[in-house]
Amino acid sequence: MNTKPWKHPLGQAAIVVVLAYVLFEWGIWLLPPLFGVASAPVPATVVLQYMGTVVVGVLIWVSDSEERWKQFKAPIHRVMVDPRQKVLRTALMVTIPLLVAFMTFDRVRPTVSAPAALRSVHPAPPGQIDFRGETMVLNGLENPLRHEGDLEEHYEEGKRIYVQNCMPCHGDALDGQGHFASAFNPAPLSFQDPGTIVQLTESFVFWRIAKGGPGLPREATPWDSAMPAWEDLLTAEEIWQVTIYLYEQTGWEPRTWEEEGAEGEEH
């Protein structure tokens, strides 16, 4: 090769493919947060789809002019037939099948993870629930204890309730790392996580504590939540107290009802 690799079509093609892979695998995940836009790792199937498109594009580019196509093929051809390239050729002949074999192995290898399933982490709460035979309208419901009694007292009481009932799973640091936590899938929620209780109103938290895993609505299935329904074991006041404890201890502010209305897109 006389020309520099990045001037040669083969080298350019390789660079584009690698750059595209870096962009799809890490760029989409890590770049938008720099500009304050939320992002997340891209699922492997989507990366595969994008890479397929890019590879097709690159092949179109190298072959749409006769001259470039010849240039592109030349080094490949040379490696395939030139006696002096025997070492490289043999190396490729060994590594490429090995690579394919490894990828195949990696795909079919049995893993411990459960099959993919769709689930809604924060299902829409019902408008009202039946709590110990009483109807509670959740919509617009505030924690009544925030306006009556001594907040400090509620906090202390909530702490006692938490330690007695919740700590084994949700952990003493409210991080979802209790003694039993590793036995469950889905794992107990970490209340420290900025994606959990801070996104929710206190009435939602009340609902989840009261009704637990068995009370999840249909759209939240499949759901193997081990969370018990606490309504038979705790009174409404106790649940509100433990809710106060959750928010006070983590330092999060509960979502208020005024913020409601920013619904997601359809589909």
Partner 1 sequence: MFPGVDKTSERNVPKPGMTWRSGAGPILLLGALALLVMAEPAFAQVPAGRDYGDFPVIGGRAAVWIAAQVHLLFAAFVLGVPMFAVVTEAIGMFGGDERYDKLSKEFTRLLLVAYSATAIWGGILLFLLVTIYPTLFSYLAQIFNLSMWIYVGLFFFESFTLYLYYYGWDRWKKGRAKWFHWGLGIALNVWGTIVMFIANGWLTYMMSPPADVTVDTAPQMIQLWTALTNATWMPINIHRLIANVVFGGAVVGAYAAYRFLAAKSDEERAHYDWMGYVGNMIAIGALIVLPFAGYWLGREIYEFNQQMGITMMGGFMSWLWIIQAFLIGILFLAGNYYLWVGMGRIPGAERFMPYTKYMLAVLIVGVIVWATPNTMIASREEFAAMGGTHHPFLSVLGLMSGKNTAVNFMILTTFLSFLLYRRANKEPVVPWARTGTIVQGAIFIIASAVVLFYGIYGYRVPTIVRIGFSVYQVLTVLACIIGVITIDLLMLRGATSRGTIRWGRMPARSQYALFILAVTFTWLMGLMGFARSGIRQHWHVFEVIRDTSPWAATPALGYSSVVISACVLIFFGLVAFIFWLGSLAEKPVISSAGRTSAAGGIQSDLQPAPSEG
Partner 2 sequence: MLKTNLSILAVVIGCLAVFTWVANAIPQLQSDVPEDLVLSDDVTPAELIAAGEELYNGGGGCTACHGLGERAPNLLTDHAGTGLIGERCANRVPGEDCKQYLHTSMVDPNAYLVEGFAPIMLDASRTLSSVQIWAIVAYLQSLGGEVTVTGADFADDGGAAPAGGVVASAPAAPVLGPTGPLDPEELLTRYTCATCHAISGPSPLGPSYEGMGSRLTADEIRTSILDPTASAAENFEAMLGIMPPIFGNIPAAELEAIVQFIASQR
Residues of this chain that bind partner 1 (CB under 8 A): 28, 32, 37-46, 49-50, 53-54, 56-57, 60-61, 63-66, 69, 113-121, 195, 265-267
Distance CA 232, CA 222 (A): 24
Binding status of residue 168 toward partner 2 by CB under 8 A = no
Partner interacting with residue 254 (select from partner 2, partner 1, none; CB below 5-8 Å by kind): none
- Of positions 64, 148, 259, 266, contacts partner 2 by CB under 8 A: 266
Residue 120 or residue 182: which is nearer to partner 2 going by CB? 120
Binding status of residue 138 toward partner 2 by CB under 8 A = yes
Part in contact with partner 2 (CB under 8 A); list of ranges 80-88, 98-106, 214-222, 245-253? 214-222
Residue 57 or residue 228: which is nearer to partner 1 going by CB? 57
Binding to partner 2 (CB under 8 A) within 112-131 occurs at 124-128
- Of positions 150, 172, 219, 224, contacts partner 2 by CB under 8 A: 219
Q: How far is the CB of 115 from partner 1 (least distance, A)?
A: 8
The residues of the shown chain that bind partner 2, judged by CB under 8 A, are: 45, 124-128, 133, 137-140, 217-219, 263, 266
